[in-house]
């Protein structure tokens, strides 16, 4: 440990104001203290409270073992073998974890074995970064009565919060060897808080970037998703790139560095990707993922300043990337579709039928996402968001959708069963071909979309064929 624990006493004696802790959390601390136990607010929630940010969740730590917590806290559920108990209070769930101590690490992943401990200092010592390794609360009451709540900050987390620095607890190289996820956590945390990673921690990250290859795909994807959800994802993505981590988790993205393109003067393809991702709203994770991957095919197709077919190649590469990181198939399909379609061109010579064909090709559900991606792509290219007629195409698409005209087979006034019943046809591929032919005509001329007309057209088509 770098420093001795803060002396006991009121919060004032530590030089730190008490963090803003909600009533329900304070209530849980009180319940544990009254039952004779130590109870502390720890981890990211305390860090966020000191920063005046609303924590995603409140983490509490105690010397009470899980079975004991189940006895003393009502509505408590033992969650997993890591000693965490979940308690419901005021409609929220709070996680309380028994102090942990020693554990074995193997494969640069999470510990194989966790032991319960009795000391908050030991518990803090196994946490990742100094700003995450503070505790506010009190030890078990002594014979003289309960202790005054106070801050325990053995690793200088308060100072690092002040300096806005991410610093590993203890020897950074060892801590990253123990668990390579900490490399991604450092980068994500620095980007989320707008902190710097201090030099020794940074240089250990750079030395050990390749360790992230030992992590499970799901854990890597979870951190990537969190970076993509930041107000400005490029803050985190650039740290991944500068540290060499990107090269290990996404070499196909790292390959964009230094690829020239005639967009923003002096900027390479990677810079274009960063601008494009940042230009998508934070609450559209799938489109941000598509923005990250939209030009994946460019390095492989670059020739004479052009990138012919990069949308097709890029869609295949995006699928491989997302499968590798085990994204759910539904997400992968949407992202791949967007990458595949992102190169559409529009001109004002398009007929309404052409607009309807465009809608049918893209698919109704993907339209909004595709327009958002293309707007961001424009921004990433130093253009106005609605450049290249995008605003007009968007307006015309909205107009067609509002007119409730047929776009796909399901919109036709007849279906396969009608054709079989009315024309006396046998079920089979002919029916599908007929429906496609009818759809093509209806897309060209929506006035044809009523039952008698379509049956008549279908009959003529069948007669022509025979």
Task: Using CB under 5 A, pick the residue from 31, 42, 44, 47 that binds Mg ion.
Answer: 44
Element (H, E) at 398: helix 390-402
48 makes contact with Mg ion (CB under 5 A): no
Interface stretch with Mg ion, choices 1-9, 44-52, 303-311, 360-368 (CB under 5 A):
44-52
* Shortest-Cβ-distance residue relative to Mg ion: 44
* Contact pattern from residue 1 through residue 40 relative to Mg ion, giving x for each residue in contact according to CB under 5 A and a dash for the rest: ----------------------------------------
Which CB sits closer to Mg ion, 195 or 321?
195
Q: How many helices (H) and strands (E) does the chain have?
A: 23, 9
| Cα-based distances in Å from 99 to 122, 237, 285 | 8, 34, 35
| Cα-based distances in Å from 231 to 47, 163, 192, 203, 225 | 19, 22, 8, 26, 12
Nearest to 236 by CA among 277, 281, 191: 191
Instruction: Tell me which residues touch ligand ATP (CB under 6 A).
Output: 43-44, 56, 59, 127-128, 132-133, 179, 181-182, 185
* Tokens 């319960």 belong to residue: 116
* Tokens 């052409």 belong to residue: 354
Minimum distance of ligand ATP from residue 267's CB (angstroms): 32
Give the integer Cα–Cα distance in Å for 243 and 209: 7
* Shortest-Cβ-distance residue relative to ligand ATP: 44
Q: Where are the alpha helices (DSSP H) in 74-230?
A: 120-125, 157-163, 172-178, 181-193, 199-207, 217-228
Residue 370 interacting entry, from Mg ion, ligand ATP, none, C-beta within 5 to 8 Å by type: none
Residue 128 interacting entry, from ligand ATP, Mg ion, none, C-beta within 5 to 8 Å by type: ligand ATP
Which CB sits closer to Mg ion, 135 or 376?
135
156 makes contact with Mg ion (CB under 5 A): no
| Cα-based distances in Å from 349 to 315, 346, 407 | 28, 8, 20
Minimum distance of Mg ion from residue 59's CB (angstroms): 6
337 makes contact with Mg ion (CB under 5 A): no
127 makes contact with Mg ion (CB under 5 A): no
137 makes contact with Mg ion (CB under 5 A): no
Interface stretch with Mg ion, choices 3-11, 41-49, 165-173, 290-298 (CB under 5 A):
41-49
Which CB sits closer to Mg ion, 21 or 271?
21
| Cα-based distances in Å from 33 to 40, 153, 362, 465 | 10, 20, 60, 86
* Binding region for Mg ion (CB under 5 A): 44
């Amino acid at each position: 440990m770098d420093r001795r624990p803060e002396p006991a006493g009121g919060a004032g004696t530590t030089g730190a104001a008490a963090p803003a802790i909600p009533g329900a959390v304070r209530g849980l601390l009180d319940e544990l203290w009254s039952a004779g136990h130590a109870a502390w607010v720890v981890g990211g929630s305390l860090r966020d409270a000191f920063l005046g940010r609303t924590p995603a969740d409140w983490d509490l730590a105690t010397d009470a073992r899980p079975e004991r917590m189940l006895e003393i806290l009502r509505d408590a559920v033992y969650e997993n073998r890591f000693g965490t108990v979940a308690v419901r209070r005021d409609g929220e769930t709070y996680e309380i974890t028994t102090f942990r101590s020693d554990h074995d690490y193997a494969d640069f992943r999470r510990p194989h074995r966790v032991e319960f401990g009795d000391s908050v200092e030991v518990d803090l010592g196994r946490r990742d970064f100094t700003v995450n390794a503070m505790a506010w609360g009190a030890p078990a009451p002594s014979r003289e009565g309960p202790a005054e709540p106070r801050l325990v900050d053995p690793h200088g987390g308060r100072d690092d919060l002040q300096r806005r620095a991410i610093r590993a607890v203890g020897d950074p190289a060892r801590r990253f060897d123990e668990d390579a996820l900490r490399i991604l956590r450092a980068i994500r945390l620095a980007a989320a808080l707008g902190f710097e990673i201090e030099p020794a921690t940074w240089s250990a990250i750079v030395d050990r970037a390749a360790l992230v290859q030992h992590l499970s795909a799901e854990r890597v994807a979870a951190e990537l998703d969190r970076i993509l959800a930041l107000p400005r994802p490029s803050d985190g993505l650039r740290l991944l790139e500068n540290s060499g981590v990107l090269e290990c988790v996404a070499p196909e993205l790292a390959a964009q560095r230094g690829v020239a393109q005639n967009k923003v003067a002096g900027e390479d393809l990677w810079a274009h990707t960063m601008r494009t991702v940042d230009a998508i709203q934070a609450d559209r994770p799938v489109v941000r993922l598509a923005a990250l991957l939209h030009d994946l095919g460019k390095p492989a197709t670059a020739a004479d300043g052009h990138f012919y077919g990069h949308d097709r190649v890029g869609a295949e590469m995006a699928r491989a990337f997302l499968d590798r990181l085990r994204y759910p198939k539904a997400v992968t399909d949407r992202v791949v579709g967007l990458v595949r379609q992102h190169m559409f061109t529009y001109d004002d010579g398009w007929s309404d039928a052409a607009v309807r064909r465009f809608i049918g090709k893209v698919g109704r559900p993907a339209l909004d996402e595709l327009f958002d991606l293309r707007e961001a792509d424009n921004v990433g290219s130093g253009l106005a968001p609605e450049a290249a007629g995008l605003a007009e195409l968007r307006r015309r698409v909205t107009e067609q959708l509002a007119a409730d005209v047929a776009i796909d087979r399901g919109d036709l006034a007849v279906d396969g069963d009608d054709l079989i019943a009315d024309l006396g046809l046998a079920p089979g591929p002919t029916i599908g071909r007929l429906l496609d032919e009818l759809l093509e005509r209806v897309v060209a001329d929506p006035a044809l979309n009523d039952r008698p007309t379509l049956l008549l057209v279908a009959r003529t088509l069948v007669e022509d064929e025979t």
